[in-house]
Chains A and B, each alone.
Chain A
Amino acid sequence: MVLGRFGAASRMREFAAIYPAKESTAQALVPDFFSLRQALNVASADQRVLVVIHGSDDQTKPLRESLQAVCNDPSLIGRFHYDFEKSLKEQKTIRGLKAAAGIAIVRSDEFGLNGDVMAHLPLDAEPATIKRALLTANKEYARTTEQKVYSSHVAKGTQLGVYFEGNVEYGEDRDGDGEIDHRGGSRGQRSGQRGR
C-alpha cells in the first residue's frame, strides 16, 4: 500500500493493530547508517544528536547489544541517531573525534557536512553512563541549537553554494510522469561548501 500525504497516521495505526509486535520493542535493534557522511547529513536534517560508535566488529558487538536497551529507553528513543564505523576515513569531518575506538556524541553542523564532538565515552561504558551522557547532550543541543526554517535554510545554502553530492538523481517529479523534471540546470559545478 502507498500512503499519501494525508491520512497516513490513521492507516498506520490500523496496520499496527493488525500486526502487533511479537517481541518486545524495548529490545529493538540499534539503527545504523551506510556512512558517517550520511549519518551527519541525516542528523543535521532531523536536528538530532548523533552517536558515532567506532571500532571493529569484535569491539563493538557487545555494545551493539547492550545499546538496545539504552536507545529504546523511553527517555531516549527518537532523540538520537546511531552510526557504527569500523574505520574513520571521514574522521576529519568531525572536530575532536579521536582515532581510538570509542563512543563519540556528535553535534552535526547546519548543513550536515561537518560535526563537533560533544562528549567521548569508552566502548565499555556502562549503559547508565551512556544514558546520562546522551540526556546531557540532548539537553545541551536543544538549548544551543537554532531550529531550522526550511525555506531560509535552502535559501542560505543556495547562497553559500552548498552542494551535497548524493547517489540519487536530484529534482522533483511534480508533473507525476515518473521522471525527474529538469528545470533550472545543474548546480553541480558551483563553488563553495561541497559535501562529497
Chain B
Amino acid sequence: MKNAFLTTMLALVVTGCSAFGQGGPRPQNLGASDLPLGEPGIHWYTRWDTAQAEAKRSGRPIMFVAAATQCHGVSGVF
C-alpha cells in the first residue's frame, strides 16, 4: 500500500489503532512493513489545509485516511 500512489493521489492522515478495523488482524499477528527502510512511501499530507491546497493546485482527488500513530497508547507505529 505504501508506495503505490506516490505521484497520483494525495493522502491525508489524521491521528486517532485504526489499522485493526472490523475483522482486521490483531497487533500480535502483525510483522514488519514490506517497505525497506530508506525507500519511498506515500507522500502524506497530515493537515487538511495543506492537503486541500495541494488538491486545488493540482486538481487531484484526495484519498482521506484516518490512521493513528499509536496502538493501545504505544506510539511510533501505524
In whole angstroms, what is the CA distance A149 to B71 when docked? 13
Interface residues on B, range: 35 or more
A151, B31: Cβ atoms closer than 8 Å = yes
- DSSP majority for the B interface? loop
B5, A46: Cβ atoms closer than 8 Å = no
Is A22 close to B, CB under 8 A?
A: yes
- DSSP majority for the A interface? loop
Complex interface residues of chain A between 80 and 113 (CB less than 8 A to chain B): 81, 108-113
Which residues of the partner chain B approach A56 to less than 8 Å between Cβ atoms? none
Interface size on A, residues (CB 8 A): 74
In the complex, which of the residues A12, A151, A195 contacts B27, with contact meaning CB atoms closer than 8 Å? A151
Which residues of the partner chain A approach B27 to less than 8 Å between Cβ atoms? 150-151, 154
Contact with A along B41-76 (1 / 0, CB 8 A): 111111100100110011111010000111111111
Which residues of the partner chain A approach B5 to less than 8 Å between Cβ atoms? 9, 12, 16
| CB within 8 Å for A187 and B41 given contacts A150-B30, A166-B16 | no
In the complex, which of the residues B13, B22, B23, B58 contacts A42, with contact meaning CB atoms closer than 8 Å? B13
B76, A153: Cβ atoms closer than 8 Å = yes
B70, A164: Cβ atoms closer than 8 Å = yes
Residue from A16, A72, A154 having most chain B Cβ neighbours under 10 A: A154
In the complex, which of the residues B9, B37, B68 contacts A168, with contact meaning CB atoms closer than 8 Å? B68
Residue from A44, A45, A149, A188 having most chain B Cβ neighbours under 10 A: A45
Which residues of the partner chain B approach A31 to less than 8 Å between Cβ atoms? 43-47, 50
Which residues of the partner chain A approach B7 to less than 8 Å between Cβ atoms? 25, 77
Which residues of the partner chain A approach B33 to less than 8 Å between Cβ atoms? 47, 147-148
A16, B8: Cβ atoms closer than 8 Å = yes
Is A120 close to B, CB under 8 A?
A: no
Residues of A within 8 A of B (CB): 3, 5, 8-9, 12-13, 15-16, 19-25, 28-34, 38, 41-42, 44-48, 71-72, 77-79, 81, 108-113, 138-139, 141-142, 145, 147-151, 153-155, 157-158, 162-164, 166-176, 187-188, 195
14 contacts between A and B (CB under 8 A): A5-B21, A29-B53, A31-B50, A38-B69, A48-B41, A77-B6, A78-B40, A112-B69, A151-B31, A154-B74, A157-B73, A157-B77, A164-B75, A169-B16
Residues of B within 8 A of A (CB): 1, 3-9, 13-18, 20-24, 27-33, 36-47, 50, 53-54, 57-61, 63, 68-78
Closest 9 A-B residue pairs measured CB to CB?
A168-B16, A142-B38, A157-B74, A78-B40, A164-B75, A22-B59, A150-B30, A44-B76, A112-B76
